[in-house]
């Protein structure tokens, strides 16, 4: 740490390490342990609610930095918490962080020994689906895992694939929705991407010759 820990600032230092230091860059566990060893009275100056508040701030910091909380960070901090309710609230933050990450982190999430029950996990999942800015693909994956309606997220994902010109992925996705396809065709036309509109129509609405004809008229008029 860059400042000397004394009895006067130990409480501030302890909470600061919790909310400000990232485990991937600093040895958070050792820093907390050092503070407690040097100033053991620090734990008497803290409430477990203080620790929860600092952990919530840390969760917010990871979101702002585009990072993910690790199970190790939860373990390092929760060892100073005995209240089961507060530990569960901290655990929910960890679960939300891992759930909000890409599917690459699902293995870590499934391997962790959670004390929160399935209903509490579903509660977190609902909050993530309703309030987060996750991409539609991840929301679709979460909805399916927790047996939630996923149609809206599937539609959003199909739209994104088509707009981003990932046509092969859109075909492999296997979800057919003519309304979405037509919407993306119109969006491409309005943006001046006539060639893209024509390709989408050809690949995803091959039976709609009327749409192909209209696109051809627009192309002719422009040229």
How confident is the model over 166-194, as pLDDT tens digits? 999 999 998 999 999 999 999 999 999 99
On whether residue 28 sits in a domain, the answer given is yes
Single out the residue in 107, 134, 161 at which a domain terminates.
134
Per-residue pLDDT, 1: 47
On whether residue 29 sits in a domain, the answer given is yes
Q: Are residues 125 and 203 in the same domain?
A: no
On whether residue 50 sits in a domain, the answer given is yes
How many Å from the N-terminal Cα to the C-terminal Cα in the chain? 67
Single out the residue in 109, 134, 159 at which a domain terminates.
134
Asked if 52 and 91 touch (Cβ cutoff 8 Å), the reply is no
Asked if 167 and 201 touch (Cβ cutoff 8 Å), the reply is no
Per-residue pLDDT, 157: 95
C-beta neighbour count of 123 within 10 angstroms:
14
Q: Are residues 111 and 157 in the same domain?
A: no
Q: Over 90: is that where the pLDDT of 3 sits?
A: no
Q: Are residues 109 and 162 in the same domain?
A: no
On whether residue 115 sits in a domain, the answer given is yes
Average pLDDT for 138-154? 94
pLDDT in tens, 113-128: 999 999 999 999 999 9
Per-residue pLDDT, 221: 87
Q: Are residues 154 and 121 in the same domain?
A: no
On whether residue 145 sits in a domain, the answer given is no
Single out the residue in 100, 134, 168 at which a domain terminates.
134
22 pLDDT band, cuts 50/70/90, is low
In this prediction the pTM is 0.82
Per-residue pLDDT, 131: 77
On whether residue 8 sits in a domain, the answer given is yes
Rg (CA), the chain: 25
Q: Are residues 125 and 16 in the same domain?
A: yes
Q: Are residues 4 and 101 in the same domain?
A: yes
- Chain center to CA of 36: 33
Q: Are residues 203 and 127 in the same domain?
A: no
Q: Over 80: is that where the pLDDT of 6 sits?
A: no
Average pLDDT for 34-52? 93
Per-residue pLDDT, 2: 55
Mean pLDDT over the full length of the chain: 92
Q: Are residues 208 and 105 in the same domain?
A: no
On whether residue 143 sits in a domain, the answer given is no
Alpha helices in the chain (DSSP H): 10-20, 28-38, 48-64, 71-78, 84-100, 106-111, 118-131, 136-145, 151-163, 167-173, 178-190, 194-204, 209-222
Q: Are residues 211 and 110 in the same domain?
A: no
How many angstroms separate the Cα of 89 from the Cα of each of 4, 11, 39, 120, 142? Answer: 31, 21, 27, 10, 21
Q: Is 182 helix (H, G, I), strand (E, B) or coil?
A: helix
Q: Are residues 182 and 118 in the same domain?
A: no
- Number of independent structural domains in the chain: 2
207 pLDDT band, cuts 50/70/90, is very high
Residues 6+ apart with CB under 8 A from 69: 58, 59, 62, 93, 94, 97, 98
Q: Are residues 95 and 173 in the same domain?
A: no
Structural domain including 166 reads: 150-223
Q: Are residues 107 and 158 in the same domain?
A: no
pLDDT in tens, 67-90: 899 999 999 999 999 999 999 999
């Amino acid at each position: 740490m860059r400042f000397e820990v004394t009895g006067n600032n130990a409480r501030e230092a302890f909470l600061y390490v919790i909310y400000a230091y990232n485990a991937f860059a600093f040895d958070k566990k050792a820093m907390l342990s050092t503070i407690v060893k040097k100033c053991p009275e620090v734990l008497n100056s803290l409430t477990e609610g203080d620790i929860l508040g600092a952990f919530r701030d840390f969760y917010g910091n990871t979101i702002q930095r585009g990072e993910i909380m690790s199970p190790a960070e939860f373990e390092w901090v929760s060892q100073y918490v005995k209240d089961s309710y507060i530990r569960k609230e901290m655990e929910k933050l960890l679960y939300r962080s891992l759930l909000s990450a890409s599917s690459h982190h699902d293995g870590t999430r499934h391997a962790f020994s959670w004390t929160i029950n399935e209903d509490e996990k579903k509660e977190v999942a609902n909050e993530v689906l309703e309030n987060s800015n996750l991409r539609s693909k991840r929301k679709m994956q979460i909805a399916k895992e927790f047996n939630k309606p996923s149609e809206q997220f599937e539609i959003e994902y199909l739209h994104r694939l088509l707009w981003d010109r990932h046509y092969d992925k859109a075909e492999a996705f296997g979800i057919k929705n003519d309304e979405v396809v037509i919407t993306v065709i119109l969006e491409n036309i309005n943006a001046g991407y006539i060639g893209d509109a024509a390709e989408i129509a050809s690949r995803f609405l091959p039976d709609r010759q009327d749409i192909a004809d209209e696109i051809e008229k627009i192309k002719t008029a422009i040229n």
